[in-house]
């Protein structure tokens, strides 16, 4: 299924009147308070978030998985799904592949298909947390941290293979997330595990082309429940520094213990020029992989406030690679991703409204009340007309979920693909 611009234009006609009056009201209000509305709308229109190939089908838990009709069965169909999201929103202009789930059989056909949807290939993801059916060595007791030299070398070689595939697709970065750790005390020597991991990452880093970046994720627990070798941002940061200038920490919102001050982590990493990538999701308890903004939208706003500040002030930090890393157990995956994209852009737009000059002044005067008011004024602004303005400007749908439903996207995908199961998480 392909959604052409003309279909979207037609669909927007029903909503444009309401949009015009909402936008006029907000734009007038913001202009009076000193915001450059056109600039904000352009920034929202430019913001692109990569969709991971593994989020397009129904996810599952260790207790079960409930299939969803019309799921993409092959890589080409995954790209088509991202193409649909991009057509509806114009903010999902990239896809992130996971190897070996997404090994392309015909690279040039795949590149052509991506280009036809207006997509680029963002960070490539390696997988050393599962043994494949033809595996020569096991990752059961670790991969890059392994005490078993064969498993370690095998995992390094796998990452180099992912780089080779990514190069063909014009990707420019590799994300490494490790399940490596220990389930029980005494199982691992922490120092040996860390030093093996550092050695392996350095080998992978050395195998990257000059214009590539390495993103290192961290996570405090799961699947190992006693210790994770790269447990926190500090460990990731230390490893990125050991690798070199093109290695960075990647923050995944779900990879923190409850109540961690993630916005402060963001600020610290950007200050040091080491925030390379970002995975969006939301959670109540742990790595729940819920729809972005569904549980803690204010925390997301505070994080974006630091991201916006960092993008403005930390020129030593590269522009971060944005990706949604969520799982869809009961919602239609595409609708869930549309909701996530909306939540990301809402938080971004609200952060763009923060009066940075006034905030700095309040901070210099230790005016705590004013500082809170400045942040909350921005957070409590209904910025949705700004998102709609950006979408109208780029030929996307004013209301993507309404368009998705009235264009009967899921029904069409089911009739085209049937009940085939997606591969991935
Ligand atoms: C596991 O926690 C995880 O969600 C990581 O964040 C990776 O980015 C993703 O899976 C895919 O491997
Ligand atoms: Mn992640």
**pLDDT tens digits along 140-171:** 999 999 999 999 999 999 999 999 999 999 99
More confident: 89 or 59: 89
Whether 317 lines ligand 1, by a CB cut-off of 6 Å, is no
Ligand 1 atom with minimal separation from the 327 CA: 4
Whether 278 lines ligand 1, by a CB cut-off of 6 Å, is no
425 in a domain, yes or no?
Answer: no
Q: Is the pLDDT of residue 200 over 90?
A: yes
- Mutation test of ligand 1: which of 220, 278, 325 has the most ligand atoms closer than 8 Å to its C-beta? 325
Centre of ligand 2 from the C-alpha of residue 252, in Å: 5
Centre of ligand 2 from the C-alpha of residue 219, in Å: 9
194 in a domain, yes or no?
Answer: yes
Whether 417 lines ligand 1, by a CB cut-off of 6 Å, is no
> How many folded domains does the chain comprise?
1
Backbone angles phi, psi at 66, to 5 degrees: -110, 115
Centre of ligand 1 from the C-alpha of residue 419, in Å: 25
User: Mean pLDDT of all residues in the chain?
Assistant: 96
Tokens of 78: 């995954």
Q: Is the pLDDT of residue 291 over 70?
A: yes
Whether 101 lines ligand 1, by a CB cut-off of 6 Å, is no
45 in a domain, yes or no?
Answer: yes
Is-contact 351 304, C-beta < 8 A?
yes
Q: Is the pLDDT of residue 124 over 90?
A: yes
Whether 252 lines ligand 1, by a CB cut-off of 6 Å, is yes
422 in a domain, yes or no?
Answer: no
Ligand at minimal distance from the CA of 287 is: 1
Confidence band, pLDDT 50/70/90 cuts, at residue 420: low
Find, among 127, 232, 224, 130, the residue nearest to 174 by Cα. 127
Is-contact 318 276, C-beta < 8 A?
yes
Q: What mean pLDDT comes out for the span 409-421?
A: 90
424 in a domain, yes or no?
Answer: no
Centre of ligand 1 from the C-alpha of residue 104, in Å: 21
Ligand 1 atom with minimal separation from the 54 CA: 11
Q: Give the gyration radius of the chain's Cα atoms.
A: 22
Q: What does the pLDDT read at residue 425? A: 61
- Mutation test of ligand 1: which of 50, 126, 143, 217 has the most ligand atoms closer than 8 Å to its C-beta? 217
pTM for the model: 0.97
* Tens of pLDDT, residues 207-237: 999 999 999 999 999 999 999 999 999 999 9
Centre of ligand 1 from the C-alpha of residue 200, in Å: 19
Q: What mean pLDDT comes out for the span 268-283?
A: 98
Structural domain that includes position 17? 5-417
The 3-class secondary structure across the chain, one letter per residue, is: CCCCHHHHHHHHCCCHHHHHHHHHHHHHHHHHCCCCHHHHHHHHHHCCCEEEHHHCCCCCECCECCCCCCCCCCHHHHHHHHHHHHHHHCCCCEEECECCCCCCCCHHHHHHHHHHHCCEECCEECCCCCCCCCCCCCCCCCCCCCCCHHHHHHHHHHHHHHHHHHHHCCCCEEEECCCCEECCCCCCCHHHHHHHHHHHHHHHHHCCCCCCEEEEECCCCCCCCCEECCCCHHHHHHHHHHHCCCEEEEEECCCCCCCCCHHHHHHHHHHCCCEEEEEECECCCCCCCECCCCCCHHHHHHHHHHHHHHHHHCCCCCCCEEEECCCCCCCCHHHHHHHHHHHHHHHHHHHHCCCHHHHHHHHHCCCHHHHHHHHHHHHCCCCHHHHHHHHHHHCCCCCHHHHHHHCCHHHHHHHHHCCCCCCCC
323 in a domain, yes or no?
Answer: yes
Q: Rounded CA gap, 256 and 221, in Å?
A: 9
Confidence band, pLDDT 50/70/90 cuts, at residue 379: very high
Ligand 1 atom with minimal separation from the 125 CA: 12
Whether 102 lines ligand 1, by a CB cut-off of 6 Å, is no
Q: What does the pLDDT read at residue 229? A: 98
Q: What does the pLDDT read at residue 65? A: 86
Q: Rounded CA gap, 411 and 69, in Å?
A: 8
Q: What mean pLDDT comes out for the span 173-189?
A: 98
Length reported for the chain:
425
Q: What does the pLDDT read at residue 254? A: 98
Centre of ligand 1 from the C-alpha of residue 49, in Å: 16
**Percentage with pLDDT > 70 across the chain:** 99
* Tens of pLDDT, residues 46-71: 999 999 999 999 888 888 888 889 99
Q: What does the pLDDT read at residue 328? A: 87
Whether 325 lines ligand 1, by a CB cut-off of 6 Å, is yes
105: domain CATH number is 3.20.20.150
Centre of ligand 2 from the C-alpha of residue 406, in Å: 32
211 in a domain, yes or no?
Answer: yes
Ligand at minimal distance from the CA of 98 is: 1
Q: Is the pLDDT of residue 424 over 70?
A: no
Q: What does the pLDDT read at residue 335? A: 98
Whether 122 lines ligand 1, by a CB cut-off of 6 Å, is no
Centre of ligand 2 from the C-alpha of residue 279, in Å: 5
Whether 256 lines ligand 1, by a CB cut-off of 6 Å, is no
Q: What mean pLDDT comes out for the span 63-88?
A: 94
| Residue 231 CB neighbour total at 10 angstroms | 18
Ligand at minimal distance from the CA of 289 is: 1
Q: What does the pLDDT read at residue 67? A: 84
Q: What mean pLDDT comes out for the span 318-345?
A: 96
Q: Rounded CA gap, 179 and 197, in Å?
A: 12
377 in a domain, yes or no?
Answer: yes
CA atoms within 13 A on the CB side of 314: 21
């Amino acid at each position: 299924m392909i959604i052409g611009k003309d279909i979207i234009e037609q669909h927007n006609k029903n909503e444009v009147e309401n949009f015009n009056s909402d936008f006029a009201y907000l734009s007038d209000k913001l202009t009076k308070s000193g915001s450059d509305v056109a600039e904000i709308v352009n920034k929202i229109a430019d913001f692109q978030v990569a969709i991971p190939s593994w989020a397009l089908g129904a996810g599952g838990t260790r207790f079960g998985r409930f299939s969803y009709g019309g799921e993409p069965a092959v890589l080409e169909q995954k790209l088509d799904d991202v193409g649909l999201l991009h057509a509806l929103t114009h903010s999902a202009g990239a896809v992130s592949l996971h190897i070996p789930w997404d090994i392309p059989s015909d690279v040039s056909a795949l590149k052509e298909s991506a280009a036809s949807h207006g997509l680029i290939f963002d960070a490539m993801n390696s997988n050393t947390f599962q043994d494949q059916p033809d595996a020569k060595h096991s990752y059961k007791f670790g991969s890059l941290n392994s005490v078993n030299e064969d498993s370690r070398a095998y995992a390094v070689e796998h990452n180099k293979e992912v780089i080779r595939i990514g190069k063909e697709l014009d990707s420019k970065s590799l994300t490494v997330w490790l399940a490596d750790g220990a389930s029980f005390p005494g199982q691992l020597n922490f120092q040996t595990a860390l030093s093996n991991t550092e050695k392996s990452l350095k080998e992978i880093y050395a195998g990257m082309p000059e214009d590539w970046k390495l993103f290192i994720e961290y996570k405090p627990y799961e699947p190992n429940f006693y210790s994770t070798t790269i447990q926190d941002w500090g460990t990731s940061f230390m490893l990125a520094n050991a690798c070199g200038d093109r290695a960075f920490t990647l923050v995944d919102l779900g990879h923190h213990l409850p109540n961690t001050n993630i916005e402060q982590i963001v600020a610290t990493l950007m200050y040091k020029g080491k925030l390379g990538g970002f995975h969006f999701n939301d959670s109540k308890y742990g790595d729940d992989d819920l729809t972005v903004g569904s549980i803690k939208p204010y925390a997301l706003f505070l994080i974006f406030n630091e991201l916006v500040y960092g993008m403005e002030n930390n020129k030593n930090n590269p522009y971060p690679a944005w990706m949604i890393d969520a799982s869809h157990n009961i919602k239609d995956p595409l609708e869930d991703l549309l909701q996530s994209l909306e939540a990301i852009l809402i938080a971004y737009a609200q952060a763009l409204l923060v009066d940075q000059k006034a905030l700095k002044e309040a901070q210099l005067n230790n005016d705590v009340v004013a500082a809170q008011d400045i942040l909350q004024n921005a957070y409590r602004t209904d910025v949705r007309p700004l998102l709609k303005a950006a979408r109208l400007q780029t030929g996307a749908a004013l209301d993507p979920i309404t368009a998705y439903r009235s264009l009967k996207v899921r029904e069409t995908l089911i009739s085209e693909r049937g009940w085939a199961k997606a591969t991935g998480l």
